[in-house]
Structure 1
Amino acid sequence: MSGQLTIVGLGPGPAGWVTPAANAAVAAADVMLGYAPYLARLTPRAGQIFEASDNREELQRAVRALELASQGKRVVMVSGGDPGVFAMAAAVFEAVEKNPGLANDFDIRVEPGITAMLAAAARIGAPLGHDFCAISLSDNLKPWEVIERRLRLAAEADFVIALYNPASKARPNQIRHAFRILNSARKPETTVIFARAVGRDDEEIEVTTLKEAPDALCDMRTLVIVGSDATRSLRGNKGRIWVYTPRSARGK
């Protein structure tokens, strides 16, 4: 029997944001692996095995998934959001590169999902309507100096910037360091969006400016979007704020 490893994303939270293809893979799996809070969003069917692990054990989890698939199991690796954006798909292929013999006898499939920046952007309008980039502020797997350089260059290039992993208990001040870098290259009135727990009951969306952003509260459940010089805010019905970035750009 040939095994199968499918890497799926469960989106930012709501069940309606999980794709039919991801749901089909989950339903057919013999074994499900993932970070414990992600697996907790699913209910195992009869005979289905769940193997939960910590968020610092991505590579070990990926190797385990490859081993199970090589034994003929239908394995699903679960991520939040989209599995290819700061998530488990990259870890799986890193494990394949380090252990090529584990992936000879089965197929690996990645099912796309809704990542946090897309969910947050949809909630507030269209801030990603023109060129944008995504940067993780976590320095667990890269030096902070690399993050600083990428922030500075992205700000100078006037990209809209989506900031993942902006703060945690272990590194509460890195978002403030990031804003200092961005403030050095962007106008103080640049639009900034804090989108916390998008799609869940405790969702919070705050629209502010780069000047005021360091005083906003955020955590690991927050996605931060920093607009470009062209990003605009509009007031809709009943005071609703919409943010969008025009599709065209003027030269400087």
Structure 2
Amino acid sequence: MTGKIFVVGMGPGGQEHISPKAMEVMQTSDIIAGYKTYIDLIKPILPEKEYASSGMKKEVERCEEVMQLAKEGKTVSLISSGDAGIYGMAGIMIEVVNAHNSNIDVEVIPGISAATSAASLLGAPLMNDFVTLSLSDLLTPWELIVKRLHAAGSGDFVIALYNPRSKTRIKNLDVAIETLLQYQKPETPVGFVKHAMREKQEVHYTTLGELKNCDIDMFTTVIIGNSRTEMVGGKMVTIRGYKI
């Protein structure tokens, strides 16, 4: 008997930000699988469940383990922080199942993304067209990332940056800032949030010209405004054009 795979976006991690549907499928699954850090966030909420955890950079192996469990008739929830379909596990899980010519059903359950979590804490910076860009060149060539930065800058998009800086990727954010300064003024509003909607949450405002000097790490989501973004009542807002 073949089981089923749910790829679940668990949002920031706290129970109050997990959708009822995501909670339902995790409660009814035989096993919850995922990256160890995310498992540690869910265990206190669902302590009675069986878990299968793995380390970073084990995404393919994790998906193959989940597929094998489903082949044995298990219903498995594979969890991702934020939304599983945005830099999460949804795509690779579907790819792995397809590569093995399996008929296992894969259902993706959406969650609150890092971009929307950060945006809500900053105000309303995503009120008009925006793009998300990851500055991690682990799976995407750096030249392509820079090309996309130019496209986003020339298109006057608000930009939500994921994976902005790590211990080994120090200069990627600096290059991104220098690239976007070709299109936006140094005083363009920028907001960044660390550990959005988690215990160590920090919310900060700065400008594009000053962003290089800020303390940014892998737990940070950066939102860079466009030519219509302003600070309104202490909040970051991208003006859509309503007559007030």
What range is the shorter-chain TM-score in?
over 0.9
Q: Distance in 2 between matches of 1:76 and 1:220?
A: 25
Question: What's the Cα RMSD here?
Answer: 1.5
SS in 1 for 2:42: coil
Q: Which residue of 1 aligns with 2:114?
A: 116
Q: Which residue of 2 aligns with 1:203?
A: 201
Q: Distance in 2 between matches of 1:15 and 1:68?
A: 26
Percent of pairs with identical residues: 38
Query: Residue 145 of structure 2 is aligned with which of 142, 147, 161?
Result: 147
Q: Kindly provide the CA deviation profile for residues 128-166 of structure 1, in whole angstroms up to 9, marking residues without a partner as x.
A: 000000000001101110110101110010000000011
Q: Structure 1 stretches (4+) deviating beyond 4 angstroms?
A: none
Q: Kindly provide the CA deviation profile for residues 185-206 of structure 1, in whole angstroms up to 9, marking residues without a partner as x.
A: 2111111111111112321111
The one-letter code matched in structure 2 to 1:20 is: P
1:3 aligns with 2:3: yes
Q: Which residue of 2 aligns with 1:79?
A: 80
CA contact (8 A) 2:230 2:237 kept: yes
SS in 2 for 1:77: strand
Q: Which residue of 2 aligns with 1:244?
A: 237
Unpaired runs of 5+ residues, structure 1, are 236-240
CA contact (8 A) 1:130 1:248 kept: no
The one-letter code matched in structure 2 to 1:17 is: H
1:144-223 to 2 correspondences below 5 Å:
144-223=142-221
SS in 2 for 1:185: coil
CA contact (8 A) 2:11 2:18 kept: yes
SS in 2 for 1:40: helix
CA contact (8 A) 1:193 1:205 kept: yes
SS in 1 for 2:78: strand
Q: Distance in 1 between matches of 2:151 and 2:56?
A: 29
Q: Distance in 1 between matches of 2:134 and 2:58?
A: 18
Q: Which residue of 2 aligns with 1:94?
A: 95
The one-letter code matched in structure 1 to 2:144 is: V
SS in 1 for 2:169: coil
The one-letter code matched in structure 2 to 1:95 is: V
Q: Which residue of 2 aligns with 1:21?
A: 21
CA contact (8 A) 2:13 2:38 kept: no
Q: Which residue of 2 aligns with 1:238?
A: none
Q: Distance in 1 between matches of 2:37 and 2:195?
A: 14
CA contact (8 A) 2:85 2:91 kept: yes
Unpaired runs of 5+ residues, structure 2, are none
CA contact (8 A) 2:13 2:42 kept: no
CA contact (8 A) 2:126 2:238 kept: yes
SS in 2 for 1:51: strand
Distance 1:63 1:74, change over 3 A: same
The one-letter code matched in structure 1 to 2:54 is: S
Q: Which residue of 1 aligns with 2:35?
A: 35
Distance apart, 1:45 and its partner CA? 4.7
The one-letter code matched in structure 2 to 1:126 is: A
CA contact (8 A) 1:8 1:112 kept: yes
Q: Distance in 2 between matches of 1:23 and 1:214?
A: 39
